[in-house]
Amino acid sequence: MIADETKAILKMGLFSTKRDKSRHPKGGTKVPPISSEDLKALEADAEFNPTKLTVKELLTALEDWSVVVRSQAAEEPGKRDDDVVKQLLAMLQSPNGYARGITARIYPQLKEDDLKHLWGAIYHASKKPAPSGAMAADGVRLAGANLLAKHRTKEGLEIAREYVFGTPGYVWGTYGRYKSGMPNLKVYDQGLKEHFPEMESFIKRVEGYTKKPDGEGKRTRKTMAKVTVTYEEMQKTPLPTDLKSIRPYIDAFYKELATEFK
């Protein structure tokens, strides 16, 4: 049986039995979808077994797939493609952290109507790390937290508290989480006051890098100047009272997930 994320690639037409380059999205050609009959034939084809693809090959294909989805979304920004939404749902539940991370690159293209179908999976991918590909786990989780905050959701505050600022310091990805998380999650302001000590500690810890005379020091100074101003503003600003909840979409997602595994 072909894994869900590989099926998604096949359905977007990124593979043929000979990997015909004329169908490759980076060539700028519209990629024709593979029919269900083609998909069944591929599943039965012993010479074309996508489950034996190397991780590098699979990730390359996923990257190409995300390019196709993003280009389609850009061309028709008001249109929702049900097939694409279904594929995104499958990808966000992938056990591979790299696959989830590539999917998160499409978040900026998603419209409100798309998100109604995806909020549950986005929340799940932000809250629960993928079992494999741990080195890439932060990308989709932070992207999800930032998206939840952008749409002023209560659940974004939950993810910010538990994951972005609740993860112990001095672990992998702390700098990336804080430098991106603090400006993007500022919408919650004093709602994050329990984590103000960690934020202050982070700022002090990175001060040493800002004093370096090289390019790294210059980049860090610019980043941390923004982070520091954000922190000062967060301390003075109350938690907004107009946050919305996406809990119904999350509950529906987990209900369907439970049904699938009965």
Helix (H, G, I), strand (E, B) or coil at 178: helix
Tokens of 128: 């629960």
Q: Could you list the beta-strand ranges (E) of 2-112.
A: none
How many C-beta atoms lie closer than 10 Å to residue 239's C-beta?
13
Give the start-to-end residue ranges of the domains of the chain.
1-151+252-262, 153-245
Tokens of 93: 């539940």
How far apart CA 158 and CA 144 sit, in angstroms, is 12
pLDDT at 56: 55
Query: Biggest alpha carbon distance in the chain?
Result: 63
pLDDT at 27: 42
Query: Which residues, including other chains, have CB under 8 Å from residue 185's CB and lie 6 or more apart?
Result: 145, 146, 149, 156, 160, 164, 192
How far apart CA 223 and CA 260 sit, in angstroms, is 44
Tokens of 71: 């280009």
Report residue 153: phi and psi, to 5°: -100, 150
How far apart CA 163 and CA 153 sit, in angstroms, is 16
Residue 251 to residues 116, 121, 154, Cα–Cα distance (Å): 12, 10, 14
> Torsion angle, CA of 167/170/176/181, rounded to 10 degrees?
40
Query: Which residues, including other chains, have CB under 8 Å from residue 225's CB and lie 6 or more apart?
Result: none
The per-residue pLDDT string of the chain (262 residues; one tens digit each, 9 = 90 and over) reads 445 555 555 544 444 333 444 444 444 334 444 455 655 555 555 454 545 555 555 556 556 656 666 666 566 655 556 666 777 888 888 887 877 887 887 888 788 888 999 999 999 999 998 887 667 778 899 999 999 999 999 999 999 999 999 876 555 678 888 998 999 999 999 999 999 999 999 999 888 778 777 777 788 888 899 999 999 999 999 999 999 999 999 999 999 887 654 3
Sign for the CA dihedral angle at 206, 211, 213, 219 comes to positive
What type of residue is 223?
T
Helix (H, G, I), strand (E, B) or coil at 237: coil
What radius of gyration, in Å, describes the C-alpha atoms of the chain? 21
